[in-house]
Structure 1
Amino acid sequence: MKISLNWLSDYVDIEGVEPAELAEKITRSGIEVDAVDNRSEGLKNIVVGHVLECSQHPQADKLNICRVDVGEEEPSQIICGAPNVAAGQKVVVARPGARLPGGVKIKKAKLRGEESHGMICSLQELGFDGKVVPKAYASGIYVLPEDARPGEDALGLLGLDDTVLELDLTPNRSDALSMLGAAYEAAAILSKDVNLPETAHEESAEPASGLLNLRVDAAEANPLYAAKVVRNVKVGESPEWLKARLMAAGVRPLNNIVDITNYVLMEYGQPLHAFDYDRLGTGEIVVRHAAEGEVIETLDGTERKLEPHHLLITNGREPVAIAGVMGGANSEVHDGTTTVVIEAAYFSPASVRKTSRELGLRSDASTRFEKGVDPNRVIEAGERAAALMADLAGGEVLSGTVLFDELDKEPKRVTVSPDFINERLGMKIPFEEMEEILRRLQFPYEAVNGQFVIDAPTRRVDISIPEDIVEEIARLYGYDEIPATLPVTESLPGGLTPYQDKRRTVRRYLEGAGLYQAITYSLTSESESQKFALETAPVTRLLMPMSEERSTLRQSLLPHLLDAVTYNTARQTSSVALYEVGSVFLGEGEDGLPTEVEHAAGAVTGEWSAAGWQGGQKRVDFFAVKGIVEGLATELGLSDKLSFRKGEMDGLHPGRTADVLLDGERVGIIAQLHPSEQKARDLKDTVVFELNLQRLLREETEPLLYTPVPKFPSISRDIALVVPKAVQAAALESTIRTNAGSILKDVHVFDVYEGDRMEEGMKSIAFSLTYLDPERTLTDEEVSEMHNRIVAALESEGAQIRN
């Protein structure tokens, strides 16, 4: 909703309040102000001009040489290319030195050899949106009224000496979809009174009921219909002030009759419609539902087929409007209209909403009817429109209103106690302060037995329960006045649980390792649901799946993660590293729902480190991904509990697959895809991992202890062992650690050899052992004794020392 502050000042005193300050106050009270548009910002030296002469440019067919009186001693010569410029017009002139929107500066210039001292402006050049410019001036300059004086500031005539606030309204605040609604809001914020528009007007002796009959056959959808009849109107352009206000509100001016209905719509929030009485043809209005297959041509020139539940306004024979949505072309006001019927009605919000949605028609009127208009303003809005037509179109208002009224207009009564309000807000607002706020809101109330008994104004359809009053008190008292407090609980709220903190650690670590997070579907096909699963259980199928490809809950993250890798490599991204943290679904739990277990998975393909001038490239392999998993275990404090063993799974490489063990229990897998699986997915060497993250994160870990950097030197010894190829390095490392004392600090493999000099079926594995005592320097004898004990243990298990 766009609120012109010049227009708003008609209803509430905002003098002395800066637009930005008012916008801030409105926002703090609960209605967000999206923009504060100073419409004159950057505009200067723009005046009224009188075109004295207009002749064609001798060197250009589409240019005219104009002599224009701009209030100076001598007329100015201005070259204008607008097709509608003519002698005798009052126009808007930007004189040399003027500034237009966008920082455009007007200078003296020569056009095809003729001097031009300024520019005759269109409304678009002055910053108006093309959608609100009157059609007569949409492709040319704007022509001002005859009484405009040459040389006077044109900004005031055009309503550009104004600031417009753009309100971002929530669905419950439909009351602010009008200037009066905004006025009540501003008055409550500023503690001011609201001055309502004048609706009084003279009426002829002839009653409106003598010319118009009314029948409502659908009272449930249309409980109130009021019609005013205005004769002898003269259809023409609206006065400048009215057009300026409509354009500020985002409405295109058409003619004075239609503009008045739109003006009252924006002023009261009550949609009106004007019918040409003579085009009605029957002197009758009948409100009914549509017949099967009935059609109407609406004002936009479209023929629309209607359904039996669509509500219509008819002349007793044929439809002339779709109730609350759009009028019909057959009853439209035109230049020859002399008698007007003003429709002011209350239509059921549900009926209008359904009709509008089904016909694909959205309008300012339907938007307001859908949200519910004020039942006590319907007739008043019709009277306001009649008064304006008498004043601005010279009309004669017939006496009385043709009326059908079965609408309940009683306000909703809400009872609430001050204690209830303070308990909900967690503060102590004095009783007197609450009374003052209710007075500022203009909510009629009584204080009875320590409670407020409030009759919520019908303009505020959002007020119906005690909590609504709590909100009103809070926002007018000031949300920023509510003290910041913490709930009384066993622990302070807002912190992360240890599990959540560890999950974030996992994500940070994997992203730090170079993997990008992916989020994939939890639903997959039944054939893919158990592929690569660490643990299988009965699958969970949807009762009504969208497709077979999304019919079953997954039991592994890897299939969809690999689909994402394939998708990226197919688009010339040769190196891809993705991870996902998400749930898999294993059978049915005690509550009848699938058991969710959180997993973490990754898939990596391509280069691990790119080739550069410093060295060659390194492609991803099993050990690079194994290093990622080992680093993650270290990050979680589980490195001492994690181990690996040879694994096996369909779709994975038989010689490059390892189970991940936590205290001997299988919690994950690391593997390269089987060549046939890689070929099926059109991938090169791809290594994956999947971990039961829930199991890892719930594992108890020792508190992190820091030790000082050792002052004493370490001693390293190497052992090269010849063992059968089937023997795993992890088994040998376990033997070393089991038989070593406390001075053994590190063991790692630094060489594996299987070559010509080795016996058939044998291999050489070389370990580097580091010995260290943080309290003293070790002697060679101590290290040799420990080393020999380790060697003896290895030999007893069949390993041979390689010399």
Structure 2
Amino acid sequence: MFVPVEWLKQYVDIENIDIDKLSDELVMSGSKVEAVENLGEKINKIVVGKILEIQKHPDAEKLVVTQVDIGDEVLQIVTGAKNVKEGQYIPVILNGGRLPDGTKIKKGKLRGVVSNGMMCSGEELGIADKVLPMHQEKDGIYILDEAYPLGTDIKDILGLNDYIIEFEITPNRPDCLSILGMARETAATFNIPLKNLEINIKEEVDNIKDYASVEVLDSDLCNRYVARVIKDVEIKPSPQWLQNRLMKAGMRPINNIVDITNYVMLELGQPLHAFDLEKLEENKIIVKRAENGETFTTLDEVERKLDEDTLIIADGKKSVALAGVMGGLNSEVSESTKTILIESANFSSHSVRTTSKKLGLRTEASARFEKGIDPNIAIIAANRVCQLVEELGIGKVVAGVIDIYPNRAEEKVVEVRPKRINDLLGTNLTNEEMIDILERLEMKVTIKEDKFLVTVPTFRLDIAQEIDFVEEIARIYGFNNLGMTIPKGNSQGAKTNGQIIEELAKNTLNAVGLNEILTYSFVSPRTFDLLCIPEESFMRRVVKVINPLGEETSIMRTTLMGNMLEVLARNYNRNVEYAKAFELGNVFIPKSIPVNSLPIEKKVLTIGMYGKEIDFYSLKGVVERLFERLGITDYEYIPEKNHPSFHPGRCANIVYGNHTLGVIGEIHPDVMENYNIDTRVYVGEIDFNIIYQITRLDRVYKELPKYPAMTRDMALVVKEDIYVKQIEDIVKENGREILESIKLFDVYKGKQIQEGYKSVAYSLTYRAKDRTLTDEEVTKVHEKIVKELEEKLGATLR
């Protein structure tokens, strides 16, 4: 909502309030200010001029040489504009002047002819194309509507000295979608009187009953219908002051009648529509539901198909408007219009919202109706249109009003407890202070014992119960004036065990050089194809989004690998040399298909990386460091050759007892091709729900050993297909109580080892807790280990 301050001043005296204070105080009282703009702040030396003479340029067909009177001198100006004529009043920027975009103009020559200044178009004056008056040419010079004093600053003529405040109006305050509504807020905020709008129609002729009749057949969708008639209408451009106000409020001037209806809508918040009465069959208005399948052409020249839920305005034979949305092409006001019927109605917000959504047609009128409008303002708005028509001298107002009001809106009376308000706000406001605030908001208050009986004006549709008054008093009193108090309670907040584990995991992963990423929980079904997931896989059992933003966000994810690979692919394709990232997020597993209950939400940790010096063991090292910090031991890696997304020879499951914690490995080349990544990528996905259960954050102190250790090295020759874990399991099993540690320090394949075999070298440390070991004890255990390796794995000492 754009509010010109100059227009606001018509209702509240804010002459002595500077713009910063005005906007700041309105923000503090609940009106969100999006922007404040001064249209003419950067304009300099642009004045009114009159074209005295136009001659052809001697050396250029598309240019003309003009003589322009600016009051104290006549300037020669060369222009290529085609809409200039002798006698026109136009804006002229003088030598050294500045346009709104900061451009400075200097005198010069155009094809050899001196040009002292420049005539200005609407765009050069800072007027946006979307609000440029219909009678002004988009690429032409801006032509002023009448003879203004020559040399007058153009900012005074076009109202460019004004400030425009842009407000974001919340859906619960449709009354603020008007100048009057924001004037009420300003008056209440600064505790200054609101100037009443005086509406007087001095002269009325004939009788409306001789001109038109109105019938409301579907009163459940039309709360009120007010009609007035104006005859002997003269259609022409609006005066400059009216055009200025519309443009500053973000609306394009069309003609005087349409402009007046738009002006009143912006001023009072009541949408209006003008029908050419001579185009209405039988001079009749009928408010009813449309026939199913009926077609209707709106003012934007689009034919629309209607249904029986659409409320329309019809005459004696045809539809002429979509109620509350847009008028019809067959009844629009044109230059030949002589008699008009002004519609000021109140339609059901649900009906207008439904019609607007079905037809994909949203207008300034529908935006207001769908939020709700006070029906009692309809008659005021209709009379205001008549007043402006009379003041501009463009028609005669026909006496009488047609006012069908089947669903009368009455003022609500709400019981309010002052003590409750103070308790909730933590204030000690007196009854008098509260009553003063409520009366500033145009509410009437009666005291009954220890309670207020508050009468709420009908334009405040958002107020219905006691708690609403708490907010009203708080915002006008000033949120910044409310005391700061600490909530009382018997419990102290603390992180849950799960939150502590998550935080430790994230800190650990950050510490080893990974960046945390966050991605959307909804993904594309195509993700499974990119990951080469088979059609029968359980991962394709998904929760589908009923109203997705698009195909790319139509299902809930069952794996985070697709999201991780998208992020890595994006970085790779933007020439990021290496990337290491992780995400801790939810996947969504449906309990059944079709989905008829909430899915299972499972926490999953995904780690991804690529780069010049990164390999499988880089990823494995990160996982092991994480598990070490979480106190997780006794897990093992089992080769995995069947996962469709991973390289079959470079992938392993992480197993803890009977549970599979997750999978790590190098991504399959086919998947890499799908994501347009031309380097090796390593990804791990871990079930964090299990991690919660097996994490051990407590640390038990163990005293330092008192007795010395003995170390023995051994190099074994085994078959290539034997895993080191098989060797280590046998060593640990036979090390009895004196084997303290086993460390692999070499794996060798080469000429000295026969083909199909490898050499694996270990360092074994022996120590007893209660004594110093002898060589005999160690030798006995060590030989037992070697013997078991020979028997079970066919190992030989090298």
The 3 A distance-change label for structure 1 pair 724 and 248 is same
Asked whether the 8 Å contact 1:540–1:594 carries over to 2, the reply is no
What is the distance in 2 between the residues matched to 1:387 and 1:679?
72
Asked whether the 8 Å contact 1:540–1:553 carries over to 2, the reply is no
Asked whether the 8 Å contact 1:264–1:384 carries over to 2, the reply is yes
Deviations 1:437-470 (A, max 9, x none): 1122111222222222222211111111222222
What is the distance in 2 between the residues matched to 1:296 and 1:654?
64
Does residue 598 (structure 1) correspond to residue 590 (structure 2)? The answer is no
Residue number among 605, 616, 625 corresponding to 2:619 in the alignment: 625
Residue number among 631, 639, 642 corresponding to 1:650 in the alignment: 642
What residue number does 2:360 align with?
Answer: 360
Asked whether the 8 Å contact 1:301–1:329 carries over to 2, the reply is yes
Which moved further from structure 2: 381-390 or 364-373?
364-373
Asked whether the 8 Å contact 2:285–2:314 carries over to 1, the reply is yes
Does residue 457 (structure 1) correspond to residue 462 (structure 2)? The answer is no
Deviations 1:107-154 (A, max 9, x none): 111111111111111121110111111122133112224341001111
Q: CA deviation at 1:34?
A: 0.8
Letter in 2 for 1:290: A
Q: CA deviation at 1:428?
A: 4.2
Asked whether the 8 Å contact 1:374–1:459 carries over to 2, the reply is yes
Deviations 1:277-301 (A, max 9, x none): 3333533323233334444433223
Root mean square deviation, CA, Å:
4.5
What residue number does 2:336 align with?
Answer: 336
The 3 A distance-change label for structure 1 pair 513 and 108 is same
The SS at the match of 1:61 is strand
What residue number does 2:109 align with?
Answer: 110
The 3 A distance-change label for structure 1 pair 767 and 740 is farther
What residue number does 1:100 align with?
Answer: 99
Asked whether the 8 Å contact 1:532–1:556 carries over to 2, the reply is no
Asked whether the 8 Å contact 1:633–1:642 carries over to 2, the reply is no
Deviations 1:597-648 (A, max 9, x none): 43334466xxx552xxxxxxx5623x3332121111123243xx24425455
The 3 A distance-change label for structure 1 pair 516 and 12 is closer
Does residue 435 (structure 1) correspond to residue 435 (structure 2)? The answer is yes
The SS at the match of 2:61 is coil
The SS at the match of 2:288 is strand
The 3 A distance-change label for structure 1 pair 685 and 93 is closer
What residue number does 1:777 align with?
Answer: none
Asked whether the 8 Å contact 2:69–2:150 carries over to 1, the reply is yes
The SS at the match of 1:241 is helix
Asked whether the 8 Å contact 1:91–1:120 carries over to 2, the reply is yes
What residue number does 1:614 align with?
Answer: none
Which moved further from structure 2: 366-375 or 317-326?
317-326
Q: CA deviation at 1:381?
A: 0.8
The 3 A distance-change label for structure 1 pair 56 and 473 is same
Letter in 2 for 1:356: S
Q: CA deviation at 1:474?
A: 1.8
Asked whether the 8 Å contact 1:532–1:559 carries over to 2, the reply is no
The 3 A distance-change label for structure 1 pair 492 and 198 is same
The 3 A distance-change label for structure 1 pair 743 and 193 is farther
The SS at the match of 1:499 is helix
The 3 A distance-change label for structure 1 pair 765 and 586 is farther
Q: CA deviation at 1:697?
A: 3.1
Which moved further from structure 2: 205-214 or 346-355?
205-214
What residue number does 1:180 align with?
Answer: 180
What is the distance in 1 between the residues matched to 2:539 and 2:129?
63
Asked whether the 8 Å contact 1:78–1:115 carries over to 2, the reply is yes
Letter in 2 for 1:629: V
What is the distance in 2 between the residues matched to 1:228 and 1:172?
30
Letter in 1 for 2:22: L
Q: CA deviation at 1:237?
A: 2.2
Matches within 5 A, 1:208-247: 208-247=208-247
What is the distance in 1 between the residues matched to 2:310 and 2:444?
38
The SS at the match of 1:358 is helix
The SS at the match of 1:105 is coil
Q: CA deviation at 1:11?
A: 0.2
Asked whether the 8 Å contact 1:224–1:347 carries over to 2, the reply is yes
Letter in 1 for 2:237: E
Which moved further from structure 2: 764-773 or 306-315?
764-773
Does residue 722 (structure 1) correspond to residue 727 (structure 2)? The answer is no
Letter in 1 for 2:41: E
The 3 A distance-change label for structure 1 pair 432 and 501 is farther
The 3 A distance-change label for structure 1 pair 635 and 482 is farther
TM-score by length of 1: 0.84
The SS at the match of 1:377 is helix
What is the distance in 1 between the residues matched to 2:787 and 2:413?
93
The SS at the match of 2:101 is helix
Q: CA deviation at 1:741?
A: 9.3
What is the distance in 1 between the residues matched to 2:403 and 2:547?
53
Which moved further from structure 2: 128-137 or 426-435?
426-435
The 3 A distance-change label for structure 1 pair 489 and 55 is same
Letter in 2 for 1:104: T
Asked whether the 8 Å contact 1:213–1:283 carries over to 2, the reply is yes
What is the distance in 2 between the residues matched to 1:44 and 1:656?
72
Letter in 2 for 1:598: K
Which moved further from structure 2: 358-367 or 643-652?
643-652
Which moved further from structure 2: 628-637 or 764-773?
764-773
Asked whether the 8 Å contact 1:49–1:68 carries over to 2, the reply is yes
Asked whether the 8 Å contact 2:735–2:782 carries over to 1, the reply is no
What residue number does 1:6 align with?
Answer: 6
Q: CA deviation at 1:387?
A: 0.8
Q: CA deviation at 1:565?
A: 8.0
What residue number does 2:326 align with?
Answer: 326
Residue number among 735, 745, 751 corresponding to 2:746 in the alignment: 751
What residue number does 1:398 align with?
Answer: 398
Gaps of 5+ in 1: 611-617, 774-780
The SS at the match of 2:380 is helix
What is the distance in 1 between the residues matched to 2:147 and 2:775?
114
Asked whether the 8 Å contact 2:638–2:655 carries over to 1, the reply is no
The 3 A distance-change label for structure 1 pair 574 and 91 is closer
Letter in 2 for 1:180: L
What is the distance in 2 between the residues matched to 1:249 and 1:697?
58
How many pairs align?
Answer: 772
What residue number does 1:765 align with?
Answer: 760
What residue number does 2:629 align with?
Answer: 635
What is the distance in 1 between the residues matched to 2:336 and 2:552?
65
Residue number among 655, 660, 665 corresponding to 2:654 in the alignment: 660
Which moved further from structure 2: 432-441 or 90-99?
432-441
What is the distance in 2 between the residues matched to 1:295 and 1:761?
83
What is the distance in 1 between the residues matched to 2:689 and 2:349?
51
Matches within 5 A, 1:468-617: 468-489=468-489, 491-493=491-493, 496-510=495-509, 512-514=512-514, 517=517, 579-581=582-584, 582-583=586-587, 585=589, 595-602=600-607, 609-610=611-612
Q: CA deviation at 1:338?
A: 2.9
Letter in 1 for 2:223: P
Asked whether the 8 Å contact 1:538–1:587 carries over to 2, the reply is no
Deviations 1:146-202 (A, max 9, x none): 341001111011010100011111111111111000100111111111112221111
Letter in 2 for 1:5: V
Percent identity (aligned): 36
The SS at the match of 2:282 is coil
What is the distance in 2 between the residues matched to 1:544 and 1:146?
60
Asked whether the 8 Å contact 1:539–1:553 carries over to 2, the reply is no
What residue number does 1:196 align with?
Answer: 196
Does residue 120 (structure 1) correspond to residue 125 (structure 2)? The answer is no
Q: CA deviation at 1:367?
A: 1.4
Letter in 2 for 1:101: P
Asked whether the 8 Å contact 1:643–1:664 carries over to 2, the reply is no
The SS at the match of 2:627 is helix
